[in-house]
């Protein structure tokens, strides 16, 4: 599900089961991440699938990448794997107005 930045943030902040997932490359993450995000690079193929399958399906995942394209794909993959609550940050981190920290 695609959410605007405003909705993504407000929903995330009110969600006690929230996990932020960054699906960019390590090099991209080195430029800064949304606080408390975990990184699983979608470009790693089967390793990405394996890492996602180890996550708790009872949690709610707030997913982002650089522009919102890879994270939208990641949400689709997560849905196929049985995750019911994967939310894509439309516009990605390039449109992010919140805090960014070093990983």
What amino acid positions are annotated as catalytic residues?
65
What's the CA gap between 45 and 42, in Å, rounded? Answer: 6
Of 43, 3, 7, 46, the closest CA to residue 22 belongs to 43
Helices 46-53 and 69-80, axial angle in degrees (round to 10): 60
What's the CA gap between 84 and 103, in Å, rounded? Answer: 27
Q: Considering only the C-alpha atoms of the chain, give the largest distance between any 2 of them, rounded to a whole number of Å.
A: 32
Residue 95 has phi, psi (to 5 degrees) of -105, 5
């Amino acid at each position: 599900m695609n959410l605007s930045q405003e909705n993504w943030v407000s929903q995330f902040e009110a969600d006690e089961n929230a996990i932020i997932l960054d699906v960019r490359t390590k090099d991209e993450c080195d430029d800064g991440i949304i606080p408390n995000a975990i990184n699983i690079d979608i470009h790693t193929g089967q390793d990405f699938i394996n890492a996602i399958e180890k996550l708790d399906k009872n949690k709610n995942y707030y997913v982002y990448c650089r522009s919102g394209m890879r994270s939208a794909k990641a949400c689709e993959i997560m849905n196929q794997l049985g995750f019911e609550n994967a939310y894509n940050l439309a516009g990605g981190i390039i449109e992010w107005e919140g805090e960014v920290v070093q990983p």
